[in-house]
Structure formats: structure tokens, C-alpha cells
Structure 1
């Protein structure tokens, strides 16, 4: 059985959540070729609505923001219409929907984007990674450095995407500032070599993320906005420096973001428990924490330790649309099929079995 703390109700922003679980954002590559989420996407999220807070996969705010093949967008009328079906299905099944806004930055390839242009980044530094495309894995090209004017345009794209999410019926958005993508690239000294006000020191490297959050909060209300961070996460070729450098960066960033009174801070935690506790202490609203390799008996550990309010589920929820019911009952969990994570179609997406009533 799972800890009693998981089943306590919680108020997050404008939402009254029935428990302390949520769906973590996970890329699944099932959007239509124009980035519109179709009926299968609505079915997938609707199946998992008992998790309460549904945070979607990374969703690009613009053509430049797309990194992977088959990821959804939220910046055209077609995208809005597709996401409206998702929101309606989630709501009809008792859940709430936050759309994650993700600009991939340099983690992209021209073959995966609508305009087939060079990726953009804080600096023209190659991540030395491969990207999967329709023709197989290809080396990621060196990105183009964004001008200051283009940075302002990108912030406006986040603002427009947030407004589009609300127009689609979503309850809010999560800004993706983690896992090696554009906001994280600005934070990382080895990806951001800028000499202007967006690079060079902790305050300047934080500026882009703060301005994105300010714009989105102004557009739709701070209590409908969360942000995801992953201090020291070495994805996408990033290296944020030694422990002290990382702590200085995130103490400043989170301190500034805390002033905005966003609905939540979502930490993808990779091991610095002292930093996690200090961020928790600095944050005035809800904190979500997700960790790699957490077993079902550890789901509530961060809540019980006072480090988190909500525990988002990834792999467990992916393979078990009724994971809430299974955890409540102490029932066995389906095993994840890694071969079907990104292949498209219903297999490994909407066809995982649910418990059969006794």
C-alpha cells in the first residue's frame, strides 16, 4: 500500500486536486504532421485523467521551437482545436490539463521542423548529439545564435502559446526550463557564451527564463503557470558547472521566479538534496518533485520529507492508465514496453490494460 499522504486533497493555483499524484510530461510523438494533437492524443490523456493534474508532453510555441518529429504545437488555430478535444476529454473524466510549453532550442534538426531551418540557441555551440528524424538518426547541426530582438520575439511566442492553451480550454501551462532545452541552454555556461545582458553571469543567464515566466504570467495569470527546472541535469550536452556554481544559479533563478507567485515549481531532481531543500524553502507555492528510478514504495517520500506537495508519475502512469486505482488497491502494475514509446499509433499508447473489476 502507498503512504496515506498521497491521498490528501491539495489546492494548486485555481485547482482543487483530489490527491497528491499527477501525470509527468512525457514526449510520445503522436501528433499529426502539422503538430495538431488528434483523437488518439485525447484518448491517451483522457484515460489518465484520474491522476488529477495532467501535465502534457512538451508542446512547441513556434516552428523554431520544434525539436523532435511528431511533437505537438500550440500556436495555430488547428493546434487550438486539437487541444480543445484533449481538454474536453480530460475534463469529462475528472482531470485538469496543463500544457507544457517547450522550445527545444539547439536540440533539433531541420528535417523535423515545418520551415526546415537551422536550430536556434543562446550561442552557436553544437551540442554534439544526434537527433532522430524520418530518415533515421542524424547529427544535430550547429545552431544559430539568437539576436536580442529574436529573444524578445521568442518571449512573445511563449506568451502567444500560453494564450492559445487557455483558448483551447487548458487549465494552465507549464514552462519547460529543464532537460537540455532552450531555457536550460541559457542557464548553462557551456551552452551560453553570450557577452550581452543574456549571458556572462548568473543574473544574465537567468534573464531569459525569468522574462518568459513574467510574460506568460502576465498573459494568463500567475496562478495558471508552473515552471519545470532540472538543476545539474546533463542532458542535451549541457554542463552547468560544479555544485557551487549550480547552487548559485538556481538560488538566484528560483528566488526571482518566486516573486511572480506562480502556481508551482516542478523540479526534475538528480541528487543535490541540499539544493532541493533550499529551493523548497524559497518557493511560496506548490512544489512538484520527480526523480529517476523511484519505486512505487518511494512515491510519497519527498512529500513525507516536506520537500514536495505533489509527486508526478512518469513510467508508472504511461503503462497504467488506471495507476491511481492500482496504487490505492495495492494491485500489480503493468510493465512498460520501451519499444513502443515513440513509434506512433495506439500500440503502447492507449492499449495498456486496466484492472478488471472483481
Structure 2
């Protein structure tokens, strides 16, 4: 199998046997990056692989589907649940971050996330869209609420009528419950090694409305609803197809900005705001043009609106002591050392 990674010197990939263990992957990554010791993070929010997982297979942990983040050991925070600082607004060089909130399992918490940060840029009001001449229609961005359930809401809006009555919508809370029930019903598949914590604890957290969903939840929703979920990354325009290869007939498309998910929809009436008439699912075999235009729309979001947050690249300043740092890990370290929680991203261009 081929494993992709991002490291301080740039992106890369390693080839490794399908049955390889995490320990073998670590050795391959050390050889590829030239680092003597590494911290490997996966998932979102990023969590570090624990030495207790080293004898598990990559297949068991689902790492064959991941793009890993590699950092020199000791140069990376062990905290893995923090969110990134907000991105700058279009009208000024900086935008003030919301003060961090108090959660039980993280030190840098709940800074203002993507949709709220973008609110000052008027993304929602600008009705970001691209035309699709193949079908005489328009692909539009549907902004999801900034409530820590954006992934569930984005996908839920594309599931109408699946496994249910034709007019049935799936709320974020319902999808959380469906995911949790599936995990608890399959303890051998979803062990503590896979989830990163005991299943009961993981599920209890996932039912809370302020817990972010990620790869595990997307994979479960894809499986249970028999739908491919194509996730387009705003910064890179890369496409991650959850459920690819399972012969699902339909797909939906969501947009990921590194801290926030939004949904894409097709409309046939210009300026349509009523989402009940959105087309949110397409046949896998006949929707390559939708993916192509989704990438086009993401390039507009990236280049014209800076609608993404890079958790490793952003430059920040502490509003209290005027310290300047780069990336999520430096923010975590500064907050832990000083207790200062008013952090602003500095626009560099």
C-alpha cells in the first residue's frame, strides 16, 4: 500500500506491505524523512500514534486511508484536540480570535472556527458558485453552522430519503446517535486501538454537540447509507473519496477547510436559496464533472477568499504580550506556558 505524509521538509509517500504494522510504518517514515525519531499524527482533530499501538496493523487502525503528519519527536505537542486559530478577514490584516473555552481533555480549546471567522468576509452573502455547462446548472456552496457539528450537518443534508421516507432529513444529533450505535454494536471492529480511547468513552464524547466528527464517523456514515462521500480540501483541492471501491451507486460532495465542513449542491435556478430543492447526490459513474467543478469552486475559495486555515502555516500574535509564533503547536505551547488565551492570526500577504 502507499501511505502519504506531510513532514517539515515537504510532502512525500512511502510504499509498505498491506499487512505492515505501525512499527514498520514508523521505520519506513524515519528512513524516508531522515528523522531519527518522529511523532506521527492522524485523523482530525490530529492525534498522535501511541507506542502501545505500534504492534497493531495499519489496516486495523485504518491508516491506509490517512495522510499523516510527521514531526520530529519532542518538537510536537502531545495535545491533539486543539483547533486552529481563525483566519484573517478580508477587510483587515488581522481578526481577533474568540477566547478559548474550557473543555476537559485539551489545553488549547475551542478557538473560533472556520465558518465564524469567514463571516466577516461575507462568504455566505456572496453565494459562492460555479456554473456547470454540462447540465445547464450551478454548483453552489452551502455554508454550515459553526457549531462543532458541521461535518454531520453537511453530510446529513445529502442523505434525505436514504434509509427513510423521501422527505426525511437527518439532523446532526440523529447522525451522532446512528454512528455511536454502530460503534457499540461492533466492539471487535471499533476497539480502543482504533478509536484512541475506550469505546464507551469515545461514544459518550461523540454524542456531545461540541465534539467534532472526523474520518471514523465519515466512514461509518458512508457504510451505513451506502454512499460515497467525496471530501474536497480547499487548500490543496485534493479529493478524498470515503467509501471508494465499495461499488456504491451514489455520492455526495462536501468541502473541508481544515477546521470546517460545508456542503456542495446543484441548483437549476440562478440564485436559488431554498435548500429543499437542492440536488445533493449524484451517480458515481456520471458525476466526474461535479468533482471537477467542486475543485474549481475550492480554488475560488482558496485564492479569492482565503477560505481555509492551515494549522501548521499560520502566523499568530498574542494580544496580551505581543508574542509571535507559527502554527498550532506553537500556540498550544504559548497558552500552556502563559495562560494567555487571546490569540490573533496575522495576515502575511
* Rg larger in structure: 2
Q: Which has the higher helix share?
A: 1
Of Structure 1 and Structure 2, the greater strand share is in 2
- Superposed pair shares fold, TM > 0.5: no
When the two structures are superposed, what TM-score results if normalisation uses the length of structure 2?
A: 0.25
